[in-house]
Homo-oligomer: A and B are copies of this chain.
Amino acid sequence: MRAVIPYKKENAKSRLSPVLTLGEREKFVELMLKDVVDTLSKAGVDEIDILTTSIYSVPDDIEANVIVSELGLNEVLNTYLKKTNEPVLIIMADMPLVTPQHICEITTSDKDITIVPGKGGGTNILYIKKPARFSVKYYGSSYKTHCDIAKEMSQSVFVYDSFLASTDIDEPQDIVELLVHGHGMSKDYVEQKFGIDISNGRIKLSHIV
């Protein structure tokens, strides 16, 4: 099997702009990518491809193949899947809460397709045993779309139910989850910048001054 991580650094994570500058966001997405690669390595995945739009956006010290393409997310992934003759794990780069145990559990399912839903109807991880018999369609209600595609293709589906793996880091409130439940370099990074404010009975992010 191999894993593929779509990755974009330039002006990434604009929804975090209320709490992180452009430079901080670019540093943060790089650290999240490193955490995801580290998690995959610890789970025994040794073939890791990073799909990106610019070779310069991927740090040099990362142990992964870099594939550069200017195609959109769905087009580049579907081209990749068509060319691949072994099981593929598609994992997003903004999921530093995923652990090696999650990856092991996902990749040992006996179903054809394993889907890890993300918040808001999204898809955070897809494990596809026969990539030639599947195609992806991210954005919008992709969780339901991927379930439908699997059904159309007569592929059996396992839905992997995990709070940590459902948490991609898109908005300031997601950083709270990283502070509370996280590990790795991206957690260390946000711990330097943020604290937790519980003055109002609910946890909110607060800047460390």
Please list the residues of chain A having a beta carbon within 8 angstroms of any beta carbon in chain B.
Answer: 117, 119-122, 139-141, 143-144, 161-166, 173, 176-177, 180-181, 196, 198, 201-203
Contacts and interface: CB of A to CB of B under 8 A. Distances in A.
A139 B176 CA distance: 15
Contact of A203 (B120, B176, B180, B203): B120
Contact of A141 (B162, B165, B196): B196
Contacts of A121: 176, 180, 196, 198, 203
B177 A140 contact: no
Which of A121, A164, A198 has most chain B Cβ within 10 Å? A121
A204 to B, nearest CB: 8
A203 B140 contact: yes
Nearest to A145: B198
A120 B176 contact: yes
Given A141-B180, A166-B166, 18 more contacts: A117-B163, A117-B180, A117-B181, A120-B173, A120-B177, A120-B202, A121-B180, A121-B196, A121-B198, A122-B203, A139-B201, A141-B196, A141-B198, A141-B203, A144-B180, A161-B163, A161-B165, A163-B163
A162 B161 CA distance: 5
Copies of this chain present in the complex amount to 2
27 contacts: A117-B163, A117-B180, A119-B177, A120-B173, A120-B176, A120-B177, A120-B202, A120-B203, A121-B176, A121-B180, A121-B196, A121-B198, A122-B203, A139-B198, A139-B201, A140-B198, A140-B201, A140-B203, A141-B180, A141-B198, A141-B203, A144-B180, A161-B162, A161-B165, A163-B163, A163-B165, A163-B166
A109 to B, nearest CB: 16
A166 B177 CA distance: 12
A175 B181 CA distance: 24
